[in-house]
Amino acid sequence: MIISETAEEMPVLQLKRVMAAPPERVFAAWTTPDAIKVWFGPENCRVLEAQVDLRVGGEFCVSLSTPKLGEIKVRGHYREVIPPAKLAYTWRWEGNPELAAGISLVTVEFIPIGTGTEIYLIHEQLPSVQARDAHGLGWSGAFDQLEKYLAS
């Protein structure tokens, strides 16, 4: 489910999705380079490389190849790391001027629900409504891929 709103200053994207896996497994998929290579991004994306330094102040970097945008990277620094419950990190695109519009902030909560996990993602400080909507499509596609990964 996508919930979007526009804050007074910058658009905010909120998504919720329930995964049929415990929070520990979902958190590990979100933070392990080998797992990220399998599920990160919508179906038409291919992860070329994933690096994770999972600590407050540590950096992540994911290199992607997409039919529309070519090779791009997203990188950021972790602001909060609370396994297996929460991550907060900065988000900055590189490699495509269409995307490179500053630094935004992603917060992800992994909430236990029975034997599964509700993922609650907030992506804020996005530069425009168009950027919010594009990120909404990207995150929704990534959630679809994560769901498939966790089912395997």
DSSP at 152: -
Residues 36-89: pLDDT tens digits? 999 999 999 999 999 999 999 999 999 999 998 899 999 999 999 999 999 999
pLDDT of residue 97: 65
The CATH number for 94's domain is: 3.30.530.20
Average pLDDT on 101-129 reads 95
Residues 6-48: pLDDT tens digits? 445 789 999 999 999 999 999 999 999 999 999 999 999 999 9
For residues 106 and 1, what is the distance between their CA atoms, to the nearest angstrom?
Answer: 17
The interaxial angle of helices 23-31 and 129-151, nearest 10 deg, is 120
pLDDT of residue 102: 86
For residues 138 and 151, what is the distance between their CA atoms, to the nearest angstrom?
Answer: 20
How many independent structural domains does the chain possess? 1
Phi first, then psi: give them for residue 149, nearest 5 degrees: -60, -45
Quick one: how many helices (H) and strands (E) in the chain? 3, 8
Residue 98 or residue 84, greater confidence:
84
Location of structure tokens 């070329």:
48
pTM of this prediction?
Answer: 0.91
Alpha helices in the chain (DSSP H): 23-31, 33-39, 129-151
Average pLDDT on 86-100 reads 86
pLDDT of residue 8: 53
Structure tokens, 113 = 């629900």
Location of structure tokens 């090779």:
71
pLDDT at residue 147 is higher than 50: yes
Contact 139, 13 (CB under 8 A): yes
The parent domain of residue 93 ranges over 2-151
